Each structure stands twice: as C-alpha cells, then as structure tokens.
Amino acid sequence: MEKVTAIISNFNMPERCDALVEHIRAHEGCEVVVVDNGSDLVPPSKYTTVRLAKNIQTTGGWLEGLKLARGADFYWILITSAEFIGVPVLPQMLKAMRLYDHCVGVHPALTKDSTTSWEHLKEIGTSGFRKVWMIDNICALWRAEWFDSVGGFDPRFTYAWGPDLELAYLARSQERTLYVTEPAGVKKVTDIGYTMKRMNMDAEDRRAFARANMREVMLEKYGQNWQELMYRE
C-alpha cells in the first residue's frame, strides 16, 4: 500500500485548514502534516503539526512539512484557498499514478466556478484522466521519488507560482506526464485570505512581489527565455 503524506501550509486561516484536514481524515485516509506559517492574527489550526515563529511564505511552509514526510511514496501539497466539495479525490489520483508509470503529478479537476488563472485545471465535463501541460500546487499529488530527484521546491521561490511552472517544465523535459482527474473534487477561491483581512499585505502588492520574485529566480536559472520554456504547452 502506498504511503501518501498531505502537507498543508497555513497562515491565519485555521477554519479553512481545519476543514481540509477533517475532509482528508474522513474521506481520503492518509497522513496529514500541517505547518502553521507564523499565524499572528488568529490562533493556528487545531491540527497543527509544526508551528513556525514567523511567516516564511507558502513555499517555505511546504518545505518544512516535507521534512516530516520522509518515507512517503507521494507528497500531496495543498493550500488553504482550496476546499473539497465532498467527493474523495485521492483514489482517482492514485489510479492515474498506477496506470501511467511515466506520470509524476496529478491534480483533481477544479469546479467550473473556481477562481484561477489556470483554466485547463477546471472541469470540462469528462471523466477519467486528462493529460495537461502543468498542474498547480492547489491540491497537487507528486510522485515522491521523482519530486526528490529533481530537487523539489526551490526555496528561493516565495509566494509565486514558480514552483508549479518549474516542476511542470522539468517533467516535460524528461518526457514525464501530468494529469487532471475528473469529475471535479476541489473548488479554488482566490484571495480569500485578503477578503477576510488575514494577510500582511494587500492582494495586488502580493502579486507584484510574487512576479518580481519569480522573475528574479527564473532569470538566474534559465536565462532571458525563461517564460518561453515555462509556459510552453
């Protein structure tokens, strides 16, 4: 039986984090690691595994959680702006991993009303598996052996979607594949932490910081044509 470790990085969103953990425990049946990323406005999740003294941003929180996931066959990376809509998603994601040995990452389809820039992750009304060019760490399941072999998350990425783009690029470069499973099992609500006034900057400032951070890291690693490489389908 494969070991799956779910890793949730939580910052000032205990009620949403608690809901994710409770769904996973009730319906998915895997280990859960919750990293409280320096919550300072509200108490941490009651399911917190590790509490950090200060906010080291999303990627830093995941990296702390991954330290506790050793021995896992799959890492399941989640954010608190995701919410399950009631159906188990892990069995279908694991089925895709078993069917396609070249598959290194799987994501459950998002509901059609999810707010995300990645339209290809939304449900399109099919069933089974869809091969896609990238998956987002909204609710991504990664094959641990492959994830570790390519270095996982670069700690220099902070808020941005750089880790998502880079892992997808590395998978494509190695002729590995990524899949989305349908029907939809997750809803994504962008900027919910900002509308709840739980963040330490506004959403536009955060996006500007994220883009600048990602550009700096990508330029250093991949050169001037980094966008062409990362966004190539």
Give me the CATH number covering residue 220.
3.90.550.10
Give the CA count within 13 Å in the CB-facing half-sphere of 99: 16
Number of domains, the chain: 1
Asked if omega into 163 is within 30° of 0 (cis), the reply is no
Q: Which domain holds residue 142?
A: 4-230
pLDDT digits (tens, 9 = 90+) for 89-115: 999 999 999 999 999 999 999 999 999
The neighbour count for residue 206, using CB atoms within 10 Å, is: 19
Residues 224 and 90: their CA atoms lie apart, in Å, by: 38
pTM to 2 decimals?
A: 0.94
Give the CA count within 13 Å in the CB-facing half-sphere of 26: 9
pLDDT digits (tens, 9 = 90+) for 69-83: 989 999 999 999 999
Decide: 108 and 97 in contact? Cβ < 8 Å. Answer: no
